[in-house]
Amino acid sequence: MRRLTALRAMRRLHGMHTYRCTRCGGLNRVPERRVTDGPICGRCKTPLDASGAPQSVNESELARAIESSPVPVLVDFWAPWCGPCRMAAPVLDRIARSRAGRVIVLKVNSDEQPNASARHHIQGIPAFIMFKGGAEAGRQVGLLPERAFADWVDRFALAA
């Protein structure tokens, strides 16, 4: 009986994507077949950005997303003065957009959110932390070549 219930739950979640509302921060599940229909946030009724583009967040928004996301959350800790961070931005954007709905990608400006950086023990930037199920699942300090970085992300994003 438990196995049958688990299989039904997997079928319901299969084909579901998750997007974060840029206005209220709510997490919204959208059936894969409906992503192109212009989905709206269930909480604030704002159109959802289903592009998967990285979103800037503050400390409380970060905590809420990590705790409640049903999909992995990749967080980029960066600063505007950091050359490697600026080089990482387009790579992160491409990776985020190609995994839209399967990974939520957030950016934390370490200069503006020092408490978030301290809470997550950031000692060098750029730093990328993957959260899964509300807990840290992986950490990468510094930018890898794009293919290696994409593979690192996929270890968490595509794992069951």
Active site residues: 82, 85
> What is the distance between the alpha carbons of residues 35 and 16, in angstroms, rounded to a whole number?
9
> What is the distance between the alpha carbons of residues 76 and 108, in angstroms, rounded to a whole number?
6
Q: Which residues contact 152 (CB under 8 A, 6 or more apart)?
A: 130, 138, 140, 144
Give the count of alpha carbons within 13 A of 89, CB side only. 14
* Pair of tokens at residue 67: 């705790």
